[in-house]
C-alpha cells in the first residue's frame, strides 16, 4: 500500500502547483482601456487659449451643441488625421486611418468611426488670437499654387479680411471597437500600432472637429490690372499643388476679392491614451 500513498501525494502536489501557477490555466490577458487626456495639461500662451475659445464658440454657434470634453486646439491641421499618434517617428504609421483597415474582421474602416454631426454653417469666425495669421498663411499657400494669381498676395488687406467656414463636422474613433481589434488582430502592422500606443508618452488622436475649407473675403490695397479685373469678373477655379484640393477666386462687385479654399483641416481634437490594466 505504501507505493499507492506515495503516488497520491505526488498527484496532490502537482495539482497544488497547477492551482498557483498561471501557466497551468493560461496567462491572463491584460485589459486594454482608452482614457481621455485632460486638455488642461496644455495651455502654452494667450494666443492658444483665445483661439481655442473662438473655435469652441464657433462650433457651438454652428451646431447648437456643446463641444466634446478635453478638446485641444490643433490650428489648421492638414498633416495629422484621426487615428494618428503624436510621435514624430510614428506619425506616418497610420497614413490617415488606413492602417485600421488591414484586418479581415474589420474590412470596413467605418466600423471604427462614428460621424457625430455635419453642418453647412457659412458663418463668419472671429479672427482673434493667431487665427488671422493662420488663415492668412493658408490663403497665401493657396494663391501660390497659381502662377497667375500669386501676384495678388501683396495686395491682400488682412486687417479687413473676413473668414467664413463652409462645412464643419465631427468624427470619432469607437474606442471599444478599436480595443477589440487590437486584442484580436494577427496583422503585424496593427500589432506594431498597438505597441506604439502602449509606449509611455504616446497618445492617439481619437476625435476631431474638421472643416472642408473656408471662404476669405477682403479688399485689395492696390487695384489689379484691367486685364486681370476682366479675367476675375467670373469665378475662376484652379487645383492646388499635387493634390485633389482646389480653390476658386472672383472679384466681387464691391471690389472685394473672394477666395474659396476647398481643403480638409482638423481644427479641434481629443487625445486618448491606451493603458494596459
Structure confidence at residue 227 (pLDDT): 92
Residue 2 lies in a domain: no
* 37 beta partners: none
Q: Which residue has the higher pLDDT, 59 or 45?
A: 59
- What mean pLDDT comes out for the span 130-152? 93
Q: What percent of the chain has pLDDT over 70?
A: 80
Q: What grid cell was written down for 130?
A: 493667431
Question: Could you tell me the pLDDT band of residue 260, with boundaries at 50, 70 and 90?
Answer: very high
| Residue 51 CB contacts under 8 Å (≥ 6 apart), including other chains | 73, 75, 128, 129, 130, 131, 134
Residue 22 domain flag: no
Whole-model pTM: value is: 0.80
Q: Of 200, 201, 204, 210, give the one whose Cα is nearest residue 265.
A: 210
With respect to residue 23, please indicate whether it lies within any of the assigned structural domains.
no
Residue linked to cell 458663418? 123
Rounded percentage of the chain residues whose pLDDT exceeds 90: 51
* Segment 19-38, tens digit of pLDDT: 233 444 455 667 899 999 99
DSSP 3-state of 162: strand
Q: Is residue 14 part of a domain?
A: no
Residue 17 within a domain:
no
DSSP 8-state secondary structure symbol assigned to residue 220: B
What was the pLDDT predicted at 203? 86
Confidence of residue 110 (pLDDT cuts 50, 70, 90): low
User: Looking at the domain assignment, is residue 201 inside a domain?
Assistant: yes
The reply to whether 35 falls in a domain is: yes
User: By residue range, what is the domain housing residue 131?
Assistant: 31-276
Confidence check: pLDDT of 192 > 50: yes
Output the pLDDT for position 85.
Answer: 67
| Cα(166)–Cα(121) distance, integer angstroms | 6
**Residue 144 belongs to a domain:** yes
Domain count, the chain: 1
Q: Among 56-60, 104-108, 211-215, where is mean pLDDT lowest? A: 104-108
Amino acid at each position: 500500500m505504501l507505493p499507492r500513498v506515495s503516488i497520491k501525494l505526488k498527484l496532490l502536489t502537482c495539482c497544488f502547483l497547477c492551482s498557483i501557477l498561471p501557466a497551468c490555466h493560461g496567462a491572463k490577458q491584460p485589459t486594454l482601456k482608452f482614457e481621455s487626456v485632460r486638455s488642461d495639461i496644455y495651455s502654452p500662451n494667450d494666443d492658444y487659449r483665445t483661439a481655442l475659445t473662438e473655435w469652441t464658440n464657433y462650433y457651438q454657434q454652428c451646431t447648437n451643441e456643446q463641444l466634446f470634453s478635453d478638446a485641444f486646439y490643433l490650428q489648421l491641421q492638414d498633416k495629422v488625421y484621426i487615428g494618428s499618434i503624436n510621435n514624430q517617428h510614428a506619425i506616418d504609421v497610420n497614413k490617415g486611418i488606413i492602417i485600421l483597415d488591414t484586418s479581415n474582421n474589420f474590412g470596413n474602416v467605418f466600423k471604427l468611426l462614428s460621424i457625430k454631426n455635419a453642418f453647412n454653417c457659412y458663418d463668419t469666425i472671429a479672427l482673434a488670437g493667431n487665427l488671422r495669421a493662420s488663415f492668412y498663411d493658408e490663403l497665401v499657400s493657396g494663391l501660390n499654387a497659381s502662377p497667375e494669381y500669386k501676384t495678388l498676395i501683396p495686395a491682400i488687406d488682412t486687417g479687413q479680411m473676413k473668414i467664413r467656414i463652409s462645412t464643419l463636422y465631427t468624427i470619432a474613433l469607437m474606442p471599444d471597437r478599436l480595443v477589440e481589434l487590437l486584442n484580436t488582430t494577427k496583422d503585424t502592422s496593427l500589432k506594431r500600432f498597438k505597441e506604439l500606443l502602449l509606449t509611455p508618452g504616446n497618445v492617439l488622436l481619437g476625435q476631431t472637429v474638421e472643416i472642408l475649407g473656408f471662404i476669405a473675403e477682403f479688399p485689395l490695397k492696390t487695384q489689379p490690372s484691367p486685364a486681370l479685373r476682366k479675367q476675375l469678373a467670373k469665378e475662376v477655379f484652379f487645383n492646388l499643388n499635387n493634390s485633389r484640393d482646389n480653390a476658386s477666386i472672383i472679384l466681387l462687385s464691391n471690389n472685394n476679392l473672394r477666395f474659396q479654399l476647398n481643403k480638409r483641416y482638423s481644427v479641434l481634437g481629443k487625445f486618448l491614451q491606451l493603458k494596459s490594466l
